[in-house]
Amino acid sequence: MQTQQSFKEAVTLVGGFNSSLQIFPDSLQQDTLFAMASSLKCLVDDDSRYQKSFQLFLERSSEHQCMRDFIHNMLPDILASIGDGKSHLNVIGVGSGAGEIDLEMLAKLRLKHPRVTVDNEVVEPSSTQLHNYKVLVSQKPGLDYIKFTWNKMTATEFEEHWRVKKMTKKADFIHMIQMLYYVKDPGATISFFQSLLDKNGKLLMLLVSGESGWGRLWRTYRNQLCNTEISQCVTTGDIKSFLDSKGVSYQSYELPSEMDITECFTEGDEKGELLLDFLTEVLDFSKTASPELKAGVLELLRHPDCSVESNGKVIFNNNLGVIVIDQLT
């Protein structure tokens, strides 16, 4: 493992805490920093590596378990009021992935509204994930009440498609699970999907909590890690600020979650490098980041604001948050 500078020194070198970059005395040094950041490639540009790192993340974290706890304990009450007594409900899943979480939510919807039929629009840009979702549906009995419409597209493309087709259909339940990092303007995306809600409709957004290790990592290294075309560094704190500025009321929930990132601190560990890619959203972060940036990120990941160390393991704060909003009034 390479020798790391102190946390303070490393952060100062890459402009971590001072996002205004005023610590640099001349424009040449600023240009060097921005060139360094812009040379890093986004992980989502390599779908194969992204899927591999994502699967490892799921193995090393309690992410899906904490989502399931929320779905089991809290979601039914949220879903109880939707539909306004209708016999048919329209659902849109934005960034549905391989469908496991979608189907669990649909099962809870069925329990609360046992006699309804469901039109389920699936919006997912990854052909691999969409294929896995279709396989899951084909293997799961008792889904005859759901009509699946498969949309291999991003949220932005779906919005364009909806507008071009001049669609008037309204949705009773829209969910965005861990996807607001991959849109250019999260606020505009939220506003569009909120505009699709029918009477008593609900828009549910799940993403990392502003109080999580992710929040600290992104607040510190927003300029160095984030792709300017895609607002990857977004937390529930950012979404709440946006909704507050628009005067939109919301319900919010905190979901405790953790992630074992111990392998990240073993130089050259293949799985550790995959996890670092996922944490930073940078393709081959260990190989392409400057020594200063890599040292600073590793130091911060180990900092008590992000992780706790227990029994020789480094456990990252992976807390999630859920925000639910109603039809625009």
The string of pLDDT tens digits covering residues 52-96 is: 999 999 999 999 999 999 999 999 999 999 988 899 999 999 999
**What pLDDT was estimated at residue 6?**
29
- Contact status, residue 126 vs residue 51, Cβ threshold 8 Å: yes
**What pLDDT was estimated at residue 230?**
60
| Domain ranges across the chain | 64-210+228-259+319-326
User: CA 229: distance to chain centroid?
Assistant: 16
Is domain 64-210+228-259+319-326 classified as CATH 3.20.20.70?
no
Which residues does residue 207 pair with via DSSP β-bridges, in sequence order? 321
Q: Answer yes or no: is 299 a known binding residue.
A: no
**What pLDDT was estimated at residue 31?**
41
pTM value surpassing 0.85 = no
Q: Answer yes or no: is 227 a known binding residue.
A: no
Please identify every stretch of the chain with a pLDDT value under 70, giving residue numbers as ranges.
Answer: 1-38, 226-232
Tokens 């809290």 locate to: 74
Q: Which token pair is 3?
A: 């020798």
**What pLDDT was estimated at residue 181?**
87
Q: Which residues contact 216 (CB under 8 A, 6 or more apart)?
A: 300, 303, 305, 306
Query: Residue 150: which of 130, 176, 171 has the closest Cα?
Result: 130
**What pLDDT was estimated at residue 32?**
40
Query: Residue 307: which of 318, 297, 296 has the closest Cα?
Result: 318
- Contact status, residue 120 vs residue 146, Cβ threshold 8 Å: yes
**Long-range contacts of range 127-133, CB-CB < 8 Å, 24 or more positions apart?**
127/152, 128/47, 128/51, 129/51, 129/96, 129/97, 129/98, 129/99, 132/98, 132/99, 133/96, 133/97, 133/98, 133/99, 133/102
